[in-house]
Amino acid sequence: MNKNQKIAQCFSPAAFIHDSEENYQAIEKLIQEQEIGGLTFFHSRHSAAANFEKRAETLDVSGTFEKLITLINRYQKLSKIPLLISIDGEYGLAMRIEKTPQYPFAITLGALKKDAEQWVEEVGYRMGMDMKRSGIHLNLAPCADVNTNPNNPVIGYRSFGDDAEKVAKLSFAAYSGMKKAGIGACLKHFPGHGDTAVDSHLGLPILHKSKEELEAEELLPFQHGIDRGVEMIMVGHLAVPALTGGKDIPASISRELITDLLKGEMGFQGLVISDALNMKAVANLFPEPGELEWQAFQAGNDILCFSDHVSEGIEKITQKTSDEEADLVFQKIMDLKKRFGVLDNKPIEVPAFDWDQHSRFQKDLAKNYVSVIWGELNPSEIQALAKAGKLGYKEFFTQTASHFSQNLNLDFETADKAEKVILSVFVPSHKPLNQFGMDQSVLGEIKALAKSKPCILVHFGNPLALKHLGDLEDFETVICAYQGFEEVQEVVKTLKLF
């Protein structure tokens, strides 16, 4: 193989499941003419990761999973060396593909009360098996970010929490589960994106902390994984001046940070993956096509994700890098492909999922994380009020009656006349924008109710949204359910609220 072909193995541009035939053929051209090493699949150009400017346009999303399988087979058939197929599926295939198994968010798994590492490893394993059966070799997950900024616009629910030790253990457990399933995984976003206030899809976050502070928090989960043999780490687009000689340079293109710190000082010997190179934190830094790709490569990245300038990037890197460096990175990628069976590629069929088993697993998980986080429950008192017609029930932010409130066979009193009210809040969004999608006037109604009489709050959603519901002390009891899955609603029902 020539040098060009070896460097091309570093490239994993975005492939969109819902796209035009013209764009499908453009991917085929990259495979046949540039001989790229892999593809990273996204749902559509409407995905947040695509930085697409026309997301308001309607999109037909029927048959997403079947289209994915068809495209993987179509693209693999054209590639001389089988493609490394990756996806960013932090909570399973469902993060990108409708009608596939979804698992709890990392923040939910961080709330597991017993045997958390074993449960999280099992989640990773099941996610990995779903992906492996679907022709995917690499999941660009889990997040090893310590979410110490509750207003973080881009991490939040994607992190296992705000405690570095817990994040270290659980991110490695998720990684281990996926590895057990026979697919690749990576810890991200090195050197740690949890204490940032800017979304790197839109701008460059800058983390102003000393190296000592970073070692005690942000870097700790990555060092934990490195010490235990993690094979892949993704570097994020954030500036950490304390690690780059005071410069506000994105970590993803910093040789000081990747080669000197990560590979040198921290002892990482695996593959380094860049975060998506289309993200505005880096995409606008180098107007000349191919220069960003070169900067990322020379910094120490082995796999370049979501490059918008593949041919120019291959050409520039080939011109500027040494033969020895090209040989080294090519061998690392080929070894990776061998380890995960990429080179034994065979056409795949659309797999069937065992939905009953998945539902049972979701329920077992929920029993371990649904928690009373404030006050106490008195089921006998609640049931006595219900029988006497003195219990009220009201739910918020649902379009239709929730699974939770169905088949109760109870006549609830109106909230204003009841002696006690159960308030179910189904948080509309897991992201913090606009109070997690909760209308300000409705939030005011919830707060007023909590102050006027005893209320039991059942919170289905991101726990970080609780701060918008007022003081927890205003409620008699607060139950945090973390997710709105039907299985979770069933588990909350077993608390004998009715």
Pairing, β 420-426 against β 371-375? unpaired
First to last CA, the chain: 69
Please tell me the distance from the alpha carbon of residue 492 to that of residue 404, in angstroms, as a whole number: 8
Q: H/E/C letters for each residue in 391-449? A: EEEEEECCCCCCHHHCCCCCCCECCCCCCEEEEEEECCCCCCHHHHHCCHHHHHHHHHH
pLDDT of amino acid 56: 45
Please state, in angstroms and as integers, the Cα–Cα distance from residue 280 to each residue in 36, 40, 199, 276, following that order: 23, 18, 9, 10
Give the alpha-carbon dihedral of 323, 329, 334, 339, to 10 degrees. Answer: 150
pLDDT of amino acid 409: 66
Residue 236: how many CB atoms within 10 A of its CB? 26
Tell me which residues of the chain have a pLDDT lower than 70. 47-59, 409
Please tell me the distance from the alpha carbon of residue 249 to that of residue 243, in angstroms, as a whole number: 10
Q: Measured at the alpha carbon of residue 140, what is the angle toward residues 3 and 343, in degrees to the nearest 5? A: 50
Please tell me the distance from the alpha carbon of residue 234 to that of residue 306, in angstroms, as a whole number: 13
* Active site residue ranges: 201, 275
Which residue is listed with tokens 């797999």?
A: 351
Architecture of domain 3-355: Alpha-Beta Barrel (3.20)
> In the chain, what are the domain boundaries?
3-355, 370-493
Residue 87 identity: I
Predicted TM-score of the model (pTM):
0.95
pLDDT of amino acid 48: 55
Please tell me the distance from the alpha carbon of residue 37 to that of residue 33, in angstroms, as a whole number: 12
400: exposed, middle or buried (C-beta count within 10 Å: 0-12, 13-18, 19+)? exposed
pLDDT of amino acid 410: 72
